[in-house]
A and B are shown apart, each in its own frame.
Chain A
């Protein structure tokens, strides 16, 4: 068969996207790291001198609390999304086709409703004069002074709410390919349902769980709108500080310092996942079939 032996077709198909992404994604990401070393100017722009002084900003004790909160909330969000997402994925994969399509649709539809509106819904629900507060007052769990909004717990609740479909979908995709007769085999060999679920099903959908962790944990670290709308000062995360430095303090180099920190935080799980994938492919090469 005759094949074009010049490089031209490949370049013609690759260079437009590569060029676009280099100019508008790769270079801007590097720019974050560069501007962290620039001085600011009085008009909220970028000055023309190099400096390392911006990093002393990080010594501010406020940031340590915010960083810890960012990581803790992201880890908890990921954990809760998995605890709910794994059984959901299992159920979906085992359901008959018609029921499964319907359930999947129910999970995806809220996804299509504007993100801000979904967060706003919680602000209405948890409002001091709202329905949940009134209900909790009625059964005597809270008193008049209790605030449901503007706490770290509220941020966690709404983060789980927003990210849970991201966890369910990859887990379902992995569970759908899982051979459920393996669970019966485990049962025949003496395992009860829980043990079979834990020792056979969970390792079987490992790849889906890893993807779910990645697609929940990384965006969670960068959350900004959720703590901004339902968090209040006690629920701030690193994203809020980046926005505050950008729009309120108008000091872009300081915003860059914080963003560089977030870039590093995001790199850790990303690199770890690449490493795990590579190990998996190596393993696959050893085991025949």
Chain B
């Protein structure tokens, strides 16, 4: 049968669509003139201006602090949830599964406003701590889904064998199951870290004075700051992302 070439052309078109704006921004980050309507000559001044900005490093520090703490918390909670969902088929677990699924489909703005209203109603002071609580809340579900995916290939007979050999159930879980699903837990953690460090909408709603994270800072730069400095930041982001992806791909291939 003659296959149509149309799907392939559409795929290529889509990739061009995905990358063209990013490429234009990178080229522009070396452009002397603002907005890059025309080429005003090569410059690195936007990059040097970016690096001399102290607030950005402060915001990055906040972002990393929140991403690390919420990743660790959600890895623990997400893993226990996944084990419960995998092991028990009770009515409690149907409710548990629904609770885990709901945050995945809820639009960010609703998660953000609901937590803001909740914190305001309880008179909780907004700041890094409320951001941490919000981030754990949306990360748990992603970690649980990734770990649960990994558990689908797990053979429970291994746990039964460990128990026949005298291990208690908690010990069998801790010493046999957890080590075997560690790659899944790590993958879930990596996803949680990325989501946390990238989140803007939810953070925007639950942040307080002095708790700006990197995305909040980028937003205020887009609204009020110099666009050329953000071009430079975009350039760094893209190069950084490609490097991380290439390295992790190399590491996975060598295994």
Which residues of A come within 8 Å of B, CB atoms? 1-4, 9-10, 12-14, 16-18, 20-22, 24-29, 31-32, 35, 45-46, 84, 87-88, 90-92, 103, 105-107, 109-110, 112-118, 120-125, 127, 129-131, 133-134, 161, 164, 168, 183-184, 187, 192-194, 196-197, 214-215, 218-219, 221-225, 229, 239, 242-243, 246, 252, 255-256, 259, 262-263, 266, 270
Contact = CB atoms under 8 A, between A and B. Distances in A.
Contact of B222 (A134, A215, A229, A255): A229
A1 to B, nearest CB: 5
A14 B15 contact: no
Nearest to B24: A125
Which of A90, A103, A270: most chain B CB closer than 10 A? A90
Interface string B202-225: 000100000000110011001000
B103 to A, nearest CB: 6
Given A24-B133, A31-B118, A112-B245, A9 B169 contact: yes
17 contacts: A1-B160, A13-B81, A13-B87, A18-B99, A32-B110, A91-B11, A106-B15, A125-B25, A130-B37, A161-B21, A218-B107, A224-B201, A252-B120, A259-B114, A262-B107, A263-B110, A266-B105
B64 interface: no
Given A1-B163, A25-B99, 13 more contacts: A16-B80, A17-B84, A21-B99, A25-B102, A28-B117, A87-B8, A88-B11, A110-B18, A118-B22, A129-B36, A164-B18, A239-B107, A263-B110
Given A21-B99, A116-B222, A242 B113 contact: yes
Contacts of B25: 120-121, 124-125
Contact of A35 (B92, B117, B242): B117
A116 B230 CA distance: 10
Nearest to B85: A14
Contacts of B7: 87-88, 90-91
A221 to B, nearest CB: 6
Interface residues of B, number: 91
A187 B3 CA distance: 11
B145 interface: no
A116 B59 CA distance: 15
Q: Which of A3, A20, A133, A256 has the most CB of B within 10 A?
A: A20
A193 B3 contact: yes
Give the 7 A-B residue pairs with the shortest CB-CB distance, closest first: A222-B107, A87-B7, A28-B114, A13-B84, A28-B118, A121-B21, A129-B37
Contacts of B106: 25, 29, 218, 266
B8 to A, nearest CB: 5
A138 to B, nearest CB: 11
Q: Is the interface of B mostly helix, strand, loop or mixed?
A: helix
Contacts of A14: 80-81, 84, 88, 92-93, 96
B77 A87 contact: no
B21 A24 contact: no
B24 A117 contact: no
Contact of B120 (A46, A127, A214): A46
B144 interface: yes
A107 B10 CA distance: 13
